[in-house]
Amino acid sequence: MSFKHLPLLGTAELIGALKLNPKQTAAAANLAHRVTHNAWRRRPSHKGGQTYDEFAATVSDCAWLTMFEVGALLALGRRQEALLLTEASRSVHQVTHPGPPR
């Protein structure tokens, strides 16, 4: 588990608010890093020279915390809330989701 890019204060607040145990905390942090790593691998060609750490440093604190919270909710078995948070985040940031229409 790495907290290297996660904003520590916000992450600590989520851990406390959701009462995460160490295993759940690790799962949430790992999910945030996996999502970011996938985005880095799919980055546009004009960002092709960036290392993962350089790319991760450009991800906003809000995005890191949202990914961490989604991971935490999944670790707690609260899948529906995680899906709602993901959809709300996409709506706010107007991210298009490739895939079949819902």
How far is C-alpha 25 from the chain's CA centre?
13
Residue 31 makes CB contacts below 8 A (sequence gap 6+) with 67, 68, 70, 71, 74
| Residue count of the chain | 102
* pLDDT tens for each residue of the chain, 102 residues long: 567 889 999 999 999 999 999 999 999 999 999 999 999 999 888 777 889 999 999 999 999 999 999 999 999 999 999 999 999 998 887 755 454 444
Q: What is the pTM of this model?
A: 0.84
Cβ count near 29 (within 10 Å) = 23
The Cα–Cα gap between 80 and 46 comes to 36
- Residue 26's pLDDT is 95
